[in-house]
Structure 1
Amino acid sequence: MDAYTALALGIALKSTQKRKRRKWAQQWYLCRERFGHVPLLNELRISEPDVFKNFLRMDGESFDKLLDLVRPYITKENTVMRSAISPFERLSITLRFLATGNTFEDLKFLSAISPQAIGGIVIDTCNAINTCLQSYIKMPQTAEEWKELSNDFNKHWNIPHCIGALDGKHVSIKKTIGSGSFYYNYKKHCSIVLLAVVNAKYEFIMVDAGMNGRVSDGGVMSHTKFGSLMEHGELQLPGAEPLHEGDSIDVPYFFVADDAFAMNENLLKPYSVMGNDVLDQERRVFNYRLSRGRRIVENVFGILVSRFGVFQRPMLLSPEKATTVTLTCCYLHNFLRKQSSGYMAPGSVDWEDNVTHELHSGEWRSKQRELAALRPIFSRNSSEKAKFTRDTMKHYFSTLGSVPWQLKMVS
């Protein structure tokens, strides 16, 4: 055997040895039934239901209902090589990711599933949840449905003709390779924007997520389907009507928002203090009454961050995947709001004393940081119709629509 042949055989032998040392999967991944989180969850469900609920951010009954809904979408077939990861495991590890925001690398030690597999499982399961829970976030389609929302706002928050509270937040994400400053916002980090409208019962009726954080905050609405429908009068809102019987002034139905949005006749925001100006009593009363409705959406965002830890740190996902995860949390919020009575326990959101009407902060304010707000805008001139609507509401709140405690709250 010459030297060349010996060298070739030696290289081939080493290559074969290397191939033999490679493993198709780490051995402990093949023992999920022993090392995974399913036995722990089954035990917690029986012996520590509160811990089970904290682990997944939902009780056993809600988990079972959600699992039944998504099972057809996340069930995989076994192969001759290995058993498929069960729907129970797929849903529970996804919910744990949403609850904590832990990395896939970290979650592998809990689930005995590779981080690469977890990454695919989470997004697939989130897509399944979004598909199955489509009906849980639904914008009214008729004037009568909008009026039902208005009745709730008037009943609970003393704001007639209000049909929703609007707000937007920046959801922090990691900087993606090649994105440049596309997602870089005024807070000096990368983000996507979550825009939402909520009803008087702390439920989303519209969510729009995924817009890049670099978009001018004042122009967020114009980049959404909701904003386009509002601009073109295609939201099927009720026509303007008097606030009370016998009044000759017709007032449009409107959303309430803060200074991050441009005001129009169907979107009202507080009076702003410019320079050394001081708001008179009527304007301060209006701002107070409006804030009682605007706090609803602020509290919904607070609960969202408090319940889903994935919002408490930058998402280590692409913008597209971060959008999917964000929408999933919104769908789950509405699902749990309807399904679980303990999802929003007393004191978890801002509340008013029934006697003194003093405002008390919800638990979420002391426990978790908030999502970054959209930047206020002050340069845009509101239409005369919008100003007239706001002035009409201002006058109403200080006359026929006044409540006994409002002067004490603004003094």
Structure 2
Amino acid sequence: MTENALTVAIIPARGGSKGVPGKNLRRVGGMPLIERAVRSCTAADGVDLVVVSTDDAEITRIAEAAGARVVARPAELSGDTATSESALLHTLDVLAADGLDVGTVVFVQATSPFIPREGIAEAVAHIAADRFDSVFSAFETYGFLWRRDADQHAAAINHDSTHRPRRQDREPHYLETGAFYAFTADGFRTAGHRFFGRIGIVEVPEASAIEIDDEHQLAVAGALAALGASADAPIPASVLVTDFDGVHTDDTATVDTDGRESVRVSREDGMGVSLLRRAGIPMLILSTELNPVVARRAEKLQLPVLHGIDNKAAALTRWASENDVALADIAYVGNDVNDLGAFGVVGWPIAVADAHPAVKAAARIVLTRRGGEGAVREVIERMLASR
């Protein structure tokens, strides 16, 4: 390894998947898996370059937007039987042909949605200090492991079934998470495999062991991401778009004998909108309902409104294009399943505290306040805090 050799994180990400179609593009915490992986790598200390190896145009677009370089993965290395090692070797060959000297490789799997950047940094530091030749992420477990023998009887693996020592008296074991591996590039080329030489372990939280192989695991990951979102983290979006019912209101309406509706809104939200306007941050109300009350509230707040919208994703995409706004810079606040389309196209899908469970699972941020009870004010204050 030369003194100026690069540390490169490589993320193999095929477009095809049998278990979960389009798996690497599915969202956890409001962000595509491939983007989550790229951002974890770019945020990790010691990583000089992040490269995504893919055969898919949409993965390419998202990866590049997140800051990764993309290497086109040949068809012969993109099938179900292709190994990750083959994609890594191909990527190294491409980088070498471009004159890049790679000393350390961090192999990252996008199907692990909770990749700790601190763990990647620790792995890189181990290789740089020549403590190990290859390392992998794992979490400590004291679990009793079993297998089935040829007769389908249970047989103990890591313990004596006749002796049940206390946890503190048992030897810990380490379960490989699959989230990331790191190794010297030269050693990997020689071995052709991710494990070789002096092998080390980087301990990571157990959540890092979640790997998306089916829809159930995707749902679990979404729920965990929503729970783990910081309740006060800034939201660095540059545009705010909101639904109306269930966001500006508590999703109820009063109807008089003439059929006229009235809704309950929060004065806090009105002040928040005023602060946002003074900061020069654009805002739009996007509503399915074609109702005069929506227009009147938008007029009161001095906000543009699009209402009577059935396809929110299409309408929002058109509006963003017409106003020269990047979808990745938009925060969209919703509460119900008709907001999921818009969630799928923006960079910051946000759910109010009392949103439908499917909306919370798809959100990047779940607010602490309910619709009509200061939710809009909360997201505005967090956007302003990012500035």
Bigger Rg, which one: 1
Give the strand-richer structure, 1 or 2: 2
Give the helix-richer structure, 1 or 2: 1
Q: TM-score, normalised by structure 1?
A: 0.25
Q: TM-score, normalised by structure 2?
A: 0.27
